[in-house]
Amino acid sequence: MALPLSCPAQETNETIRFAVFPYKSPKSVIEVFSPLAARIEKRLGKKVLLVSATDSEAFLKKSLAGEYDLALPSITVYYKMLPAGYTAIAKGIPSFWGGVIVRQDSEIKTIEQCKGKKIAAIGEHSYAGYMFFKAQLDEKRIDSKKDLDLQFVGKLDTIIYGVLNKKYDGGVIRLDTLEMKDFAPVKDQFRIVSRSAEVPQFPFVVKSGMDQRTASVIREVLTSLSPDKPEDLAILKSLQIKKIVAATKEDYDPFYKVIKNHAFYTHH
């Protein structure tokens, strides 16, 4: 007979903590990912607990402490999670690009002309929504914080409508956002001044030491999401992807070569 003491321990072992990077409010993250968590739970026969963190730093801290079994981090955070031994098992496709947008009638034609202008960006940890732009400015010896009136606003719609309504002279966003149905009607009113290198989608990663069967089942559930099913389509759309495919760390290596020398990594 098993000792009663072994039961609680086993229960905690059997719970999969699925952490989603806080790219939206916790409420939105839970709404979007609950169906997926439920599906993984059903296939695995293990409890899947959906969690998020207040911000990028908190998410990274918990990842490094090994608190997450399955995670969907931003790419820059995934890079910093590698020392803790997380392995990529799947990723969304297609890739995307970051870009600097201005109004069609703007005098800004090059990133040098952003000097002294009011530019809205997503946030310091976002590659497509800021970091690539900072790197391009660095190359031109322009200090993004001193030479520009830079504002981190965190929300895509704030940037897009802000540029449209002349609240900002330019904005730094993920360019595929302009294809979303909310923004498609206004996308022709913008001009792209500069774009980033190709950015792979957020990876789904598992904790080191997860058994092969569990990892395989999770990957299978993720890669079987179909845009033909309304519930699946909602998940895919929220992540701005068409589907999820199997992936490994190597898929991200070319991208890391692009950003490895970025000041972001040396300063943080």
Q: What stretches of the chain adopt beta strand conformation (E)? A: 16-20, 48-51, 70-72, 87-93, 98-103, 118-121, 149-152, 170-174, 190-195, 203-206, 243-246
pLDDT of residue 12: 47
Same domain flag for 191 and 128: yes
CA pseudo-torsion sign 254, 256, 257, 258:
positive
In a domain, 140, yes or no: yes
Q: Which of 179, 195, 211 is the last residue of a domain?
A: 195
Residue 180's nearest CA partner among 126, 238, 233 is 238
Model confidence over 198-220: pLDDT tens digits?
888 999 999 999 999 999 999 99
Of 160, 195, 230, which one is at a domain's C-terminal end? 195
Burial bucket for residue 4 (CB in 10 Å: 0-12, 13-18, 19+): exposed
pLDDT, tens digit, 9 for 90 and up, residues 32-61 = 899 899 999 999 999 999 998 988 889 999
In terms of domains, do 190 and 156 share one?
A: yes
This prediction has a pTM of 0.75
Residue 168 lies in a domain: yes
Cis peptide before 83 (omega within 30 of 0): no
Residues 41 and 67 in one domain: yes
Say if 231 falls within a structural domain: yes
Region 163-185: what's the mean pLDDT?
Answer: 92
Same domain, residue pair 102 and 128: yes
Q: How far apart are the first and last CA of the chain?
A: 52
Q: How many domains does the chain have?
A: 2
**Are residue 145 and residue 103 in the same domain, yes or no?**
yes
List the Cα angle 23/29/30 in 5-degree steps: 160
pLDDT over 60 at 5, yes or no: no
The parent domain of residue 157 ranges over 98-195
Helix, strand, coil % in the chain, rounded to nearest 5:
45, 20, 35
Q: What is the CATH number of the domain that holds 218?
A: 3.40.190.10
Last residue of one domain, picked from the residues 166, 195, 224: 195
Q: Evaluate whether residue 1 is within a structural domain.
A: no
Verify that 67 and 102 share a domain, yes or no.
Answer: no
Pair (184, 104) in one structural domain: yes
- Give tens-digit pLDDT for 224-264: 999 999 889 988 888 889 999 999 988 888 888 776 755 44
Strand partners, 205: 71, 88
Q: Which pLDDT does position 261 carry in this prediction?
A: 59
> Hey, what are 11's tokens?
């229960």
- Detail the DSSP E strand segments found in 140-235: 149-152, 170-174, 190-195, 203-206
pLDDT tens digit sequence for 60-103: 999 999 999 999 998 888 988 999 999 999 999 999 999 999 99
Q: Supply the mean pLDDT for the chain.
A: 88
- 32 plus 66 within the same structural domain: yes
Q: Would you say residue 2 lies in a domain?
A: no
Distances (CA, A) of 68 to 20, 62, 116, 234: 10, 7, 43, 24
**Domain assignment of residue 3, yes or no:** no
pLDDT above 90: percentage of residues in the chain: 62
Q: Is 67 within the bounds of a domain? A: yes
Whether residues 47 and 180 fall in one domain: no
Judge if 71 and 118 occupy the same domain.
no
Cα(98)–Cα(25) distance, rounded to whole angstroms?
22
Indicate if 89 and 114 belong to the same structural domain.
no
Verify that 139 and 152 share a domain, yes or no: yes
Question: Which DSSP symbol is given to 54?
Answer: S
